[in-house]
Every structure is written in structure tokens, then in C-alpha cells.
Amino acid sequence: MAPSYLDALPIGTQHPRARALLAVRKDSVPSRILVEGNWEHSQLLTTPTTIDTLYYCPEAAPDPSTAERAAARAHEVYRISPKLFARVARKSRSDGLLSIARLPVWKPDRFRFDDSSLVLVADGVEYAGNLGTLIRTVDAARADCLVLTSRRARLNHPTVYAASRGMVLTTPVLEFDDIAGAAAWLRRHNFEVHLADPDATGSYRVPKYRGGPTAFVVGSEGRGLDCRWFEQGFGAVSIPMLGQADSLNVALSAGILLFEARARKDGW
């Protein structure tokens, strides 16, 4: 029988499960993410994601219906006090709901690509908000996956969940140990690779983006693309800057590039 939020075991700060919650709250468990809030749980419940533990504070929950549905999916359910809840919650309004959920694991060798395939590579992403927005953009453009190299932002940071609108649970994200490995994977799958470089002379609107899978590589917010990407022999494209700014936010740039390629591939 599924656990009920109504008869959940109350726990204090010294309980092992409370300590496990604090560890995830500190982002120190790479394969787990902390989900908090009513909307966030509603989104979580639309996916097949495994919920390890639900922590419920009824005193802080205006609507118990989401707690009931989450409890039915969770492996374990615990009731925590308002004091403990306030200690572990990141958001000012978390609606009495905190869950530890498992991030999906994606394997590079499981992917198959065709002419309609589209991939975004993000090199050296520094901010969790941008990482989450990149994931959301990949989903919106119906790209196959996001590839990360030299990542700095943590995939399990709660801001990634919020900025991705929960798409971090359903959008494939691959990570490579080095740039050469990611570049070799792209070549092995016959990708036409375009480096996003503000100094490139060719506009992003020149390529046809047809005849094979397409990949764009965008750089970090502060440093741009790692020079090792330019050593791979790939071509570069730029987004023309018509004002005084010399570049765009990385997530906005990725959106422009991905949607241009998707429109060309799909004929709209």
C-alpha cells in the first residue's frame, strides 16, 4: 500500500532522513535534486521520475491535494515540523512540500540521429539559471539533447529545475569529460558542427541546416568558447549585433540558433 501523507512518520533534525535531506539541499548528492513547491511537484508528477522521499509540513501547506499525489509516488514519506521545514527550504514559499527526486541518466551510446536531429553543446556554463534555461530551450526547439563540456554549474541545483520549468527531468543531458571526447562523438554521428563565435564573419542564417544532423556549440557567459573547440576544425557562425552590445546572453543566443535550424529542417 502506498504511503499516506496523513499518517507520515514525524522526524526531527537528528533523524537520518533529515540529514539526507540537508545533504541534498547542499547539492552534495550529484544524482539527486531537491524539488520544492506546489507547482514544481505538479510538474514532477507529470514525469516518470523516481521520488525517493517526500517531506511534508502540513502547517505550511495550503493545498494538501498535491501532497497526497506525491505521497502515492514516493518511496518514503515523512512529516517535518515548521522549524525544520524553514531550515531546509530554499524558497520563501514552498507550500509545505519538499522531495528528493532522482535525476535521469542518459548514455551517449544510446542515441541515434538522422537529418532532422539537432543538438546544443554548452561549454563552460557557469550559472545554474542559464543552464536551466538552456535545457528549457533545447526542449522548446525539439532538439535531441544538450551536451555539456567543462561544466561549472551543477545540474542538481534547484535553480536549474526552476529555470528549466522541470524539463531537466525529461530533456536528455549528456556530459563529456573533455572537449576532444565530445567533438569525437559529434563526428562519429556525422554532425555538421557550428561554433557560436561573436567574431565569426559568417552569419548563422547562411547555412542550410539540411542534409544531416546539426550541432551548435555555445560558450560560457564570461569567457566564451574554450580555445580547444576552435582546434577541432569546425566552422563558426555569428549572430549579427545591430546595437552597441557586443554579444547576447548564452541562452538567448542558443534559442536563436536552435530555432533557425529547426525552422530550416522542418520547412517552416
pTM comes to: 0.92
C-alpha cell at 222: 564570461
Domain annotation covers residue 4: no
Same domain (yes/no): 45, 172: no
Same domain (yes/no): 128, 88: no
Same domain (yes/no): 251, 123: yes
Distance CA 33, CA 256 (A): 29
Residues 6 or more apart in contact with residue 224 via CB below 8 angstroms: 197, 198
Domain annotation covers residue 159: yes
Same domain (yes/no): 83, 137: no
Tell me the average pLDDT across 78-103.
Answer: 89
Same domain (yes/no): 91, 112: no
Same domain (yes/no): 115, 92: no
User: Please, which pLDDT band fits residue 107 given cuts at 50, 70 and 90?
Assistant: very high
Residue at a domain's end among 64, 79, 102: 102
- For residue 3, pLDDT over 60 is answered with no
Phi/psi for 50 (5° steps) reads -75, 130
Same domain (yes/no): 164, 222: yes
Distance CA 118, CA 86 (A): 42
Q: Which residue has the higher pLDDT, 90 or 3?
A: 90
pLDDT of 189: 98
Choose the weakest-confidence range: 80-84, 115-119, 260-264: 80-84
Domain annotation covers residue 262: yes
Exposed, middle or buried: residue 149 (CB in 10 Å: 0-12, 13-18, 19+)? Answer: buried
Q: How many domains does one find in the chain?
A: 2
Domain annotation covers residue 2: no
> Domain containing 67: what range?
9-102
For residues 17, 19, 21 and 26, what is the CA-based torsion angle, rounded to 10 degrees? -160
Query: Strand pairing of 145-149 and 32-36?
Result: unpaired
Domain annotation covers residue 256: yes
Same domain (yes/no): 251, 135: yes
pLDDT in tens, 32-41: 999 999 999 9
Distance CA 62, CA 96 (A): 8
CATH (domain of 169): 3.40.1280.10
Measure CA 98 to chain center: 19
